[in-house]
Amino acid sequence: MKYDFTPRGVCSRGIHIELDGETIRSVRFDGGCSGNTQGVAALAAGMNANEYIKRCKGIKCGFKNTSCPAQLAIALEQALAQQK
């Protein structure tokens, strides 16, 4: 399943996810801090989506109330809900 998400409150403008059931196959961010978003995407690949959500939901970036990793967690929650 492919899922596109528009994050809020962060520098990235888009998150593109590919899931195989609950397994994250790939993640790509549009914009944001290139090294950080590439790192998050690389670490998430192959991980169970629920495990990622558990680990990264609520992470903040500086003075922001959210972060790119937290926005990915929200996107994964929505994608999993859409699969049901």
Over the stretch 36-64, which tens digit does the pLDDT of each residue have? 999 999 999 999 999 999 999 999 999 99
The answer to whether 82 and 74 have CB atoms below 8 angstroms apart is no
pLDDT at 84 over 90: no
Neighbours of 25 (CB within 10 A): 14
- Give dist(CA 20, CA 58) in Å, integer: 24
Residue listed under structure tokens 């937290």 = 70
- Give dist(CA 27, CA 13) in Å, integer: 13
Q: What is the mean pLDDT of the chain?
A: 97
Angle between helices 68-83 and 49-56 (to 10 degrees): 140
